[in-house]
Amino acid sequence: MEPISLDKAKTIAKNKGLKPGKVKGIQGVQFTKGKNDRIEVISWDDFEKALKKRGLAVYES
């Protein structure tokens, strides 16, 4: 798998009804529909900052 740009990730997330999220209690980030109490919906800016801070990338599956 190859990493994708954040712009492409935003487009895919929007098309699937997903939002960026942070797993409560840990530093993990993931996409969410916003219905899971363990995941806090965050802004795209915060999502991007978390990716950069931890050296992570988004991959398309």
Per the structure, the count of domains in the chain is 1
> Would the pTM count as exceeding 0.95?
no
- Integer Cα distance of 5 and 17 in angstroms: 18
- Integer Cα distance of 38 and 7 in angstroms: 25
pLDDT in tens, 12-36: 999 999 999 999 988 889 999 989 9
Return the beta strands (E) in 6-57 as ranges: 19-23, 29-32, 39-41
Owning domain of residue 48: 3-59
Band of pLDDT at residue 50, cut at 50, 70 and 90: very high
Q: How many residues does the chain have?
A: 61
